[in-house]
Amino acid sequence: MRTVRPRSWLNTVLARFSAALALVSLACQPAPVPFEVHTSALDPELMTLGDGSFVQHFNGEPSAIKLGQGWLGPEPRPNPEKAWAAKRAMLYFPTPVGGAIDLVAYCTRFAYPDAPVQRVQPILNGSWQPAIELADSWGELRIPLPNQALDPRLNTLELLFDYAARPNEVTSSAANRPVSTLFESIALVPRGWSFDEGVTSASTFDSTTQQLSLTEGRRGVTLPVPPVSSFNLNIGSVESSGPGTLSLRLITVDGEPQELWQGNLKDADGLALTVSHPAGSHAQLAIEVLSTNPTAGHARAAEPVTVTLSLGPDVIAPPPRAAPRKGAPPHVFVYMIDTLRADALGVYGAERPTSPNIDRFASGSVVFDNAWSPSAWTLPATASVLTGVYPSRHGRTKGSVRGPGDNAPISLAERLGKQGYSTIGISQTYIASRAYGLDRGFDAFYLNDVLGHWTRDSNSIRWFLWHHLLGRSVDDAPLFVYSHSVAPHSPYIPQGHDARFAEHAPGDLPVHQYQPHIFMDEGFGSNTEETAHLRALYDGEVIYSDRHFGAFLDLLEYLDLYDNSIIVLLSDHGEEFYEHGGFDHSRTLFQELLHVPLIVKLPAGQHAGTRVGDRVSTVDIVPTILELATNSATGTDSLDGISLLRTLAPDAPAERRVVFAEVDVDPARDRYAAVAQAAIVSGNIKCIHSKNEVDRFFQPVASYRAYDLAADPKELHPLPESDAAAQRCFSALKQWTERVSSSTPEAGQAEPLSDEERARLEALGYL
C-alpha cells in the first residue's frame, strides 16, 4: 500500500513550483540506454511490453501512454517524477490486448483555503464518461474505460477539471501557472486490479541482445506486423524457468484474434512458421506465456514461470513486395526537425559525425544546398511550409495572435485531402498544432507536448504513426503524413552516448546554465570554450534526432511505404551560436537561421544523388508535392512557391531566384525587444530591412543593410548604402514588402491565448 502524503508535503511542492521547470529537471533525467533499430518488428517504441508498458511515471521512461496538451512537468527536485495537470489535460494510449480495463492514476488535487470541490470529467474518444470527485489527499483516481468507447487503434482521453488556480493568488507560492491536480503515475490495468498490480513490469526487451523476457500469465508482448498477405515467423531460442505454454496470436483491428500456434515451451525453441494473413492489413503479433492458474485472464501465482526468447532480426519476415501498381499515387511524408541548422549535418559539411542516417538518406535523394526558410521561428516558418505562401500572406506571424482563422490560405492537407489522401499530423510542439490552426485539413492530428518536460520524444512520432495505421490495408487511400519533432530545440540535454561531443569539448559552467538565453543574458558568448561546449551539446541533440529519423525510415521500409513515397526532410529554421552576438533564434534574419536542410526523396529513387545549387525556399514544398502527387500544377498559381522539379530538368538553366524571409515577434518581457524585419536575396546580394530600426537588444540598427554573400558569407561587413547592387536589392525588397502587405489577411481572432499557451510561448522565449 502507498503512504498518504500529509498536506505539508504539498505546500512544500508549491513553494518550489516557481523554479524553472526545465532547468532544474536537467540533472534529474535518467540516461536512456542507446538503441539501434535492426528491424521495426523489434523497435522498442512499437512493442507493447505487457502491463509494464501501460504506465506513465513522468520520468522520461518509455510508455504506451503518451501525454498531450495540458501537462506541466516534470516537477522540480525533490519530486522529478510528478507532473501537474492544467484544467484540460490530454492522454493518448492504445487498447491493451484482452479484457476490460481501467485507467488508474495516483494523484492529489490542488487544495488551498476555501478551494471548491474538485471533479474531473473524462471524455474518451469524444464520449463523455461519468464525472469523478477527487479526494483532498493522495489516492487513486479510477476511470472505467467502457469497451464500446475504446478504439482498437489509438484512444484519446481528455480530462476536464472543475477548476485550476494560480498558486501565487491563493497560497504563499510564487508559482503563477494555473494547476488543477498533481499526478505521480497513470496506468492502464485490468478491470479490478489495484494500481500496484497493474504497473508491475512483467516483460522486458534488451534491444542490444534482442532478448525478450516474459512472465507467465501477464499480457506478454505485441510486435508490429506489416500489411502483407503472409509472412515468415521465426522464434529464436527459448529458455524457461519451468514448464509452460507459449501462445502466438495475430491481432487485427476488425476481427477475432487468429491463433497461430500454441504449445509447450520446449517445442517453441527454434519455431519457424509461415503465417497466412488474409486481411493483409497492419496488425500485431501477440506472444504470451499462458497461465497454468485456473483463474481466467491473468495469473497471480506466487512463482510464475519466466521465459526468455532470443529473437533474431527476422522474427517477422515479409516476403519480397510486389512493385507498386502502375499509376498509384505516391505517399507523402514531410518530416520536420525543429531548429536544425544545415551545417549541423554531414551532408552539408558538418565536422562532427552527427548524421549517419540523414547522410544515407541523402545519398538516395535530391539535396538542395541553398534552401531558405521564410522565417526565423517555428510558427510562421511551419505555416509557410504547409501553405506554400510567405508569412505576411498566411498571417501567422505573431505568437500572441492566433492567426487569420477562416481567411487562412488553403493548406497542403486540404489540397491532398480533396485528391483522396488520408491526412495525418503528428507534432511535438503546440506551436505547430490546433492552437494556431495548423491542424487544418488533417483527418487526424496528434499533439505530444508537455510544458517543461524536456525529455526528448522524437520516437513518439513512430508510435503515433504506427497506431494510427493499425487496420489499414495496402489498398487504402494514399497517405500524407506531416510530422514535427522538437529536438534539437533548446534546452540541449543530450543523454548517454549522445553527450560524447560535449565530453570532448568540456565547459566549466554548471549544467543548468548551458541555455541560449542564459548565454545571451550573461555575456558568455565571448568565451569561445563555453560557446564550443554549448554547440557540442546541440550537436548531441542532432545525432539523437538523426537516429530517430533513421528509425522512422526503417518503419516506412518495414511497412512497404518507402519506395513509392515522396519523403521531405527539412527544418523550420536554424540556430545561433554567437555569429551575430546572440544565441537561440527568432530575432534576426542572418544565414545561421535562414539556411536550412532540404532533402527530398522522390518515388522509386528518381534523381537519387542529385545536388541542386540553385537557391530555393521551403515555400516550394507545396507546389512540388502537388505536382508529384497529382501530376498537375493546377491551383498553384496563387502560391509563392514554385515546383522544385524545374531545377531537376536536364536543360534547366541556373536559377537566379529571388527568395524572401520575414520575422515579426513580440517583446520577450524586458529581456528582448520586439523585432520586425524582412529580408530578400537576389543573386549574391542579400538585404535586410528593419521596420522598427531596433535590434533584439534594444540597440538602434540601420533601416536597410546589404551583404555580398559571395565575398562576405558570414554577413559581418555591410555594403555601403551607395553601392549600386545594394540599392537594387533595397528597391526589390521595398517592392516585395509592398506586394505582400497588400495581400495580408485580416488580423487574427480576438480570442486571447490561454494561460497555458502563454506559458508555453514564454518558456520557449517567444513572449
Tell me the pLDDT tens digit for each residue of 417-450: 999 999 999 998 878 878 888 899 999 999 987 6
What integer pLDDT is reported at residue 116 of this predicted model? 94
- What percent of the residues of the chain are helix, what percent strand, and what percent coil, each to the nearest 5? 25, 25, 50
Grid coordinates of 717: 561587413
φ and ψ at residue 344, rounded to 5 degrees: -85, -5
| Shared-domain flag, residues 406 and 374 | yes
**In 3-state terms, what secondary structure has residue 287?**
strand
| Shared-domain flag, residues 575 and 637 | yes
- Which residues are paired to 145 by β-bridges? 101
Task: Tell whether 42 is covered by a domain.
Answer: no
| Shared-domain flag, residues 180 and 216 | no
| Shared-domain flag, residues 555 and 660 | yes
Of 394, 608, 522, the residue nearest 514 (C-alpha): 522
Grid coordinates of 61: 521512461
CATH of the domain at 304: 2.60.120
What tens digit of pLDDT does each residue of 171-185 get?
988 888 889 999 998
List Cβ neighbours of 649 (8 Å cut-off, separation of 6 or more): none
| Shared-domain flag, residues 169 and 21 | yes
What is the arithmetic mean of pLDDT over 310-339? 87
What integer pLDDT is reported at residue 181 of this predicted model? 95
CATH of the domain at 652: 3.40.720.10
Map grid coordinates 507459449 to a residue: 246
Burial of 117 (0-12, 13-18, 19+ CB in 10 A): exposed
DSSP result, 150-216 = --SS-EEEEEEES--B-HHHHSS----S-B-EEEEEEEEEETT--HHHHTS---EEETTTTEEEEET
List Cβ neighbours of 342 (8 Å cut-off, separation of 6 or more): 348, 371, 571, 574, 595, 596, 597
Number of domains in the chain: 3
The 3-state secondary structure of 642-657, one letter per residue: CCHHHHHCCCCCCCCC
What tens digit of pLDDT does each residue of 106-147 get?
999 999 999 999 999 999 999 999 999 998 889 999 999 999
- Distance, CA of 633 to CA of 626 (rounded, Å): 7
What is the arithmetic mean of pLDDT over 635-663? 84
Q: Decide which of 317, 347, 363 is a domain's last residue.
A: 317
| Shared-domain flag, residues 313 and 339 | no
Task: Tell whether 416 is covered by a domain.
Answer: yes
Of 596, 63, 79, 652, the residue nearest 345 (C-alpha): 596
Fill in the DSSP letter of residue 526: G
- Which residues are paired to 127 by β-bridges? 124
Task: Tell whether 352 is covered by a domain.
Answer: yes
Could you tell me what percent of the chain has a pLDDT over 90?
54
* 608 close to 360: Cβ distance less than 8 angstroms: no
Of 592, 481, 491, 485, the residue nearest 545 (C-alpha): 485
Helix axes of 528-558 and 460-469: crossing angle, nearest 10 degrees: 20
φ and ψ at residue 206, rounded to 5 degrees: -95, 105
- Distance, CA of 742 to CA of 747 (rounded, Å): 13
Residue 395 has pLDDT above 90, yes or no: no
The least confident of 179-193, 205-219, 483-497, 563-577 is 205-219
| Shared-domain flag, residues 646 and 696 | yes
- Distance, CA of 123 to CA of 101 (rounded, Å): 16
- Distance, CA of 560 to CA of 328 (rounded, Å): 14
| Shared-domain flag, residues 112 and 232 | no
What is the arithmetic mean of pLDDT over 303-323? 85
Task: Tell whether 21 is covered by a domain.
Answer: yes
Q: Can you list the positions of beta strands (E) in 501-610?
A: 565-570, 576-577, 583-584, 595-596, 598-601
| Shared-domain flag, residues 132 and 162 | yes
| Shared-domain flag, residues 229 and 347 | no
What integer pLDDT is reported at residue 348 of this predicted model? 98
Helix axes of 378-387 and 621-630: crossing angle, nearest 10 degrees: 30
Q: By residue range, what is the domain housing residue 168?
A: 7-36+47-198
Q: Decide which of 198, 229, 250 is a domain's last residue.
A: 198
Fill in the DSSP letter of residue 281: B
Task: Tell whether 322 is covered by a domain.
Answer: no
What is the arithmetic mean of pLDDT over 479-506? 92
Task: Tell whether 80 is covered by a domain.
Answer: yes
For all residues of the chain together, what is the average pLDDT? Answer: 85
| Shared-domain flag, residues 302 and 385 | no
- Distance, CA of 646 to CA of 384 (rounded, Å): 20
Task: Tell whether 323 is covered by a domain.
Answer: no
Task: Tell whether 566 is covered by a domain.
Answer: yes
Q: Decide which of 180, 198, 216 is a domain's last residue.
A: 198
| Shared-domain flag, residues 182 and 260 | no
* Amino acid letter, residue 16: R
Backbone dihedral region of 314: left (phi > 0), alpha (psi from -120 to 50 degrees) or beta?
alpha
CA dihedral 767, 412, 71, 538 (to 10 degrees): -60
CA 570 to chain centre: 14
What tens digit of pLDDT does each residue of 216-255 get?
877 788 999 999 889 999 999 999 988 989 999 999 988 7
What integer pLDDT is reported at residue 419 of this predicted model? 93
